């Protein structure tokens, strides 16, 4: 598959840290699969971003292949989209350095995620943690992305990317495509089962509130049964007054394809126990074939490596073209 000029370009990336969650599946992977037919998609496994927080090297390598296998198991087609590992394309780091010279320290210090991660990792407030949005901007701009799927917690990063692109274009004439955000409306934010006020996170300190994509059936059912709800007993979508039940309804509707109204009618007059069990069984049933296919793919490392090698080739072709253009604009002498 070569670059498809008839379609708009889309870029997205996920870090290979910890196991991915159903929140990642609902908010990102599900949409990625749907978007691969509509856009010319480039999907990265962002291992360079991952090391802003200390990682176990062997685990990071294993997680990288695990994410790729999960992507494929969920329906991403390497013939339709470009799948690659960020560090396999050196242009990311090279462009990030240039973009650093168009980014102000104050802008980075104001980033909400930098403040949050600095608080969580006070013993390792490194420059990579602060510079994360500039590398993200390089990721997006290298591939001339027209659109970027954006979660609620990444809006600031897309805005700084746009600012940097416009700033560079104003100095050196139009060079970068200024990307627009795509904001998923359904399942954009799946909450923690133990604390519905928090987003479900793969790095949560309390794994009991997180459904991981590799959780076994018993673990899934146990976690849903313990999910925090409320005392009125009515299955009704009301995020403000019933955040726990509303979160479970969101999960149920995504995995069944039913509307909220249909789900509410289905469980009218039934207790929370029945509802939680139904959500648990539905999720476990949906994940079982994905987990089996992921395991099959992980047993075929040669195939996974071939997908990444071809993905890196395609990605480098586009990224190196963009970088060469940037280098010409800023005056770097090139051989």
Contact, 137 vs 160, CB < 8 A? yes
Contact, 334 vs 327, CB < 8 A? yes
Strands of 9-14's sheet in order across: 82-85, 40-45, 9-14, 147-149, 180-182
DSSP string, 153-221: GGHHHHHHHHHHHHHHHHHHSS-S--PEEE--SSSS-PBPSS-TTSB--TT-S-GGG--BTT--HHHHH
Residue found under tokens 């991403």: 76
To the query of whether residue 144 is one of the catalytic residues in this protein, the response is no
Is the alpha carbon torsion for 296, 298, 302, 308 positive or negative?
positive
β-bridge partners, 42: 11, 82
SS3 5: coil
Instruction: State both tokens at 222.
Output: 């146990």
To the query of whether residue 329 is one of the catalytic residues in this protein, the response is no
Residues whose CB falls within 8 Å of the CB of residue 329, separated by 6 or more in sequence, listed in order: 172, 173, 175
Among residues 117, 144, 223, 276, the one annotated as catalytic is 117
Instruction: Give the integer Cα–Cα distance in Å for 153 and 280.
Output: 27
To the query of whether residue 301 is one of the catalytic residues in this protein, the response is no
Among residues 80, 198, 202, 329, the one annotated as catalytic is 202
Instruction: Give the integer Cα–Cα distance in Å for 27 and 55.
Output: 24
Mind spelling out the 3-state secondary structure of 260-328? HHHHHHHCCCCCHHHHHHHHHHHHHHHHHHHHHHHHHHHCCHHHHHHHHHHHHHHHHHHHHHHHHHHHH
Residue found under tokens 């997180």: 210
Among residues 144, 199, 223, 276, the one annotated as catalytic is 199
So which residues are the catalytic ones?
A: 117, 199, 202
């Amino acid at each position: 598959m070569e670059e498809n000029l008839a379609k708009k370009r889309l870029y997205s990336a996920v870090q290979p840290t910890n196991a991915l969650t159903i929140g990642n599946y609902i908010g990102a992977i599900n949409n990625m699969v749907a978007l691969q037919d509509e856009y010319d998609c480039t999907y990265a496994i962002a291992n360079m971003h991952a090391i802003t927080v200390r990682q176990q090297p062997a685990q990071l390598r294993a997680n990288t292949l695990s994410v790729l296998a999960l992507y494929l198991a969920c329906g991403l087609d390497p013939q339709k989209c470009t799948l690659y590992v960020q560090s396999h394309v050196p242009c990311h780091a090279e462009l990030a350095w240039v973009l650093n010279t168009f980014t102000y320290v104050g802008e980075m210090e104001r980033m909400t995620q930098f403040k949050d991660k600095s608080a969580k990792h006070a013993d390792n407030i490194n420059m990579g943690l602060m510079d994360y949005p500039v590398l993200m901007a390089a990721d997006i701009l290298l591939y001339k992305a027209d659109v970027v799927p954006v979660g609620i917690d990444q809006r600031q990063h897309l805005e700084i990317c746009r600012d940097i692109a416009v700033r560079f274009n104003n100095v050196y004439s139009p060079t970068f495509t200024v990307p627009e955000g795509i904001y998923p409306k359904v399942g954009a934010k799946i909450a923690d089962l133990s604390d519905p006020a928090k987003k479900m996170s793969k790095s949560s300190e309390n794994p009991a509130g997180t459904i991981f994509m590799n959780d076994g059936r018993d673990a899934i059912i146990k976690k849903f049964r313990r999910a925090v709800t409320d005392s009125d007993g009515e299955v009704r979508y009301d995020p403000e007054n019933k955040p726990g039940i509303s979160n479970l309804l969101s999960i149920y509707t995504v995995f069944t394809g039913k509307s909220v109204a249909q789900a509410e009618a289905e469980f009218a007059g039934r207790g929370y126990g029945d509802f939680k069990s139904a959500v648990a069984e539905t999720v476990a049933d949906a994940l079982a074939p994905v987990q089996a296919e992921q395991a099959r793919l992980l047993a075929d490392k040669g195939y996974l490596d071939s997908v990444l090698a071809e993905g890196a080739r395609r990605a480098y072709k586009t990224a190196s073209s963009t970088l060469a253009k940037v280098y010409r604009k800023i005056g770097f002498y090139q051989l």
